[in-house]
Amino acid sequence: MSNQAATGAPFFYTYTLRSDDVEYWQPRFTYYGFRYVQVEGAVPSGGNSQSDLPKILELKALHNRNSNPSNGSFECSNPLFNKIYTLINWAIKSNMQSVITDCPHREKLSWLEQDYLMGNSIHYNFDIYNLYRKLVNDLIDAQYPQGFVPDIAPEYVVFEGGFLDSPEWGSSAVILPWLLYSWYGDTEVLEKAYPMMKNYVAYLATKASDNILYHGLGDWYDYGPGFPGEAQLTPKAVTATSIYHYDVLLLSKMAAVLNKMDDAKALATQAAAIKSSFNKKFFNPVTNVIATGSQTSMAMPYITGLVDDDKKEAVIKNLVDSIYANNKALTAGDIGFNFLVKALDEGGASQLLFDMNNRDDVAGYGFQLKKGATALTESWAALEEVSNNHLMLGHIMEWFYSGLAGISQEENSIGYKKIKIRPQPVGDITYAKGSFHSPYGWVKSSWRKNDNLFFADVEIPVNSEGVLYLPVSEISIVYINGKVLKRFNKSADGKTTKIEIGSGKYHIEIIN
């Protein structure tokens, strides 16, 4: 029997032999996550020959997961990052069943926040089209008459308070259909889910006070002074209202895709009102600090569209400065870390993102590995008292693909019609390579650098287009498939050149 203890223990199987013959047995209709196995009442074959106990001829451990085919790979020259990739991938595989579970040994419940927070990370590694369409059906079925979507779906257990209704969890109802559309171009799922999405956003409006939401769990398991649990460093209203605003923005876009233009216009107006109220309450226009200035307070509103364009640079600078002042340590939790990774990447601070995660001396991925973790743990500090195989906090996986290998899609691209290749040679990394099977075929990106030389190989599938963002300087000479690129324009960051390409294979050499 599994229970709520940190390990899910005790659980065990009892089997009674029927005869003296060789017998084969395995558990059916259930599975459990574990790291060690103990057998009592039998001895290994070839052991104590005087024992009257049954002999174990063979013992096999089987790993089971959803049958989603693998469709991506990543590696780089940094050994720690390769170990982190494996750490996260085992957590994904351990929890990818008929739903995305939190852990395979304890609750096995479909807590909804990771469906979207880890969505891109899972999507890069597995073809999850059918699974995520099924998850959307679960959300539709689980929605309450008043419009809210519970934190788990299917709702096998009915919880209370924030564990029943938290916007950062229930917002999967809006974000999952958008992800499916973005990844695969599926408009059918938008049509089917639209009533659910509209009802959920309407419900959130009834819970808001002057467009601000205050309920929920907040930035669960952030790294604060106390034992992890509900948010310690970031006001719950910041994360709840940020995701509320994001929901309304996305639903406005989806309404336009479905040609529901009246809805699209009304939702855009609603989003503007939420943004105005949020900034009035939480943004200090003098210091350019949001709420408490925590990593999540700064990053999540930045990514969810709550920061005005003319304030973005100042907000990112304050975020970066605060991280340096905190010894480049991670504090963002279950909800906020995804947005922190995105904010640092989009804000041009990938070197800092590298520094924060390329270490094992503070709580984080390296610290988990140093303590012996073989899959993601529930807490940054790999506490023994909590789950130690948990699909949570694995969002750096997305950056491995989109940042280091440089594979993503352009901002307005749907279904990888226009592929973005933007490798980021940061830190001590001398090579990185990634592959991903898009709806149009394989996308591949690999690069290596040596002193003043940078080499890259890129593959864009048929019926797609590509945009290369290559690292260049004032003195760079760029060759593509052996031909010198005589003229190139730098991008807005001044450190890359933007080159549009068609499908095919490209070998790039840059001499600096």
Q: Is the separation of the CB atoms in 220 and 229 below 8 Å? A: yes
Distance CA 461, CA 474 (A): 31
The overall longest dimension of the chain from CA atoms, in Å, is: 83
Tokens 């939401």 belong to 213
What pLDDT does 1 receive? 42
String of b and e for 373-392 (b: at least 16 CB within 10 Å)? bebbbbbbbbbeebbbbbbb
Q: pLDDT digit string (tens) for 11-30? A: 788 899 987 789 999 988 88
Q: What is the pLDDT of residue 2?
A: 43
Instruction: Name the β-bridge partners of 467.
Output: 420, 500
One-letter amino acid for residue 42 of the chain: A
Q: Please give the Cα distance from 300 to 306 (Å, whole number).
A: 9
Q: Domain locations in the chain?
A: 72-405, 418-511
| Helix extents (H) in 258-335 | 261-282, 295-303, 312-325
The encoded tokens of residue 44 equal: 């290994």
pLDDT for res 216? 97
Q: Are 278 and 270 in contact (CB under 8 A)?
A: no
pLDDT at 143: 99
Give residue 140's Cα distance to chain centre: 22
Segments in the chain below pLDDT 50: 1-2
Q: Number of H helices and number of E strands within the chain? A: 15, 15
Question: 72-405 — its CATH code?
Answer: 1.50.10.10
Q: What is the pLDDT, as a whole number, of residue 186?
A: 96
Question: Model confidence over 404-462: pLDDT tens digits?
Answer: 999 999 999 999 999 999 999 999 999 999 999 999 999 999 999 998 999 999 999 99
**Contact call for residues 342 and 295 (beta carbons, < 8 A):** no
Instruction: Please spell the DSSP secondary structure of 183-199, one letter per residue.
Output: HH---HHHHHHHHHHHH
**DSSP string covering 57-81:** -----------PPB-EEEEES-HHH
Amino acid 10: pLDDT: 67
Residue 354 token pair = 């590298």
Question: What pLDDT score does 48 carry?
Answer: 67
Cis amide linkage into residue 471, ω under 30° from 0:
no
pTM above 0.85, yes or no: yes
Of the candidates 189, 204, 193, 221, which has an alpha carbon nearest to the alpha carbon of residue 102?
221
CATH superfamily of 418-511: Maltose phosphorylase, domain 3 (2.60.420.10)
CA distance 49 to 44: 10
- Please answer whether residues 220 and 333 qualify as being in contact, where contact means their C-beta atoms are separated by less than 8 angstroms: yes
At residue 124, the 3 state secondary structure works out as helix
Tokens of 399: 């950056």
433: left (phi over 0), alpha (psi -120 to 50) or beta: beta
> What are the phi and psi torsion angles at 131 (to 5°)?
-60, -45
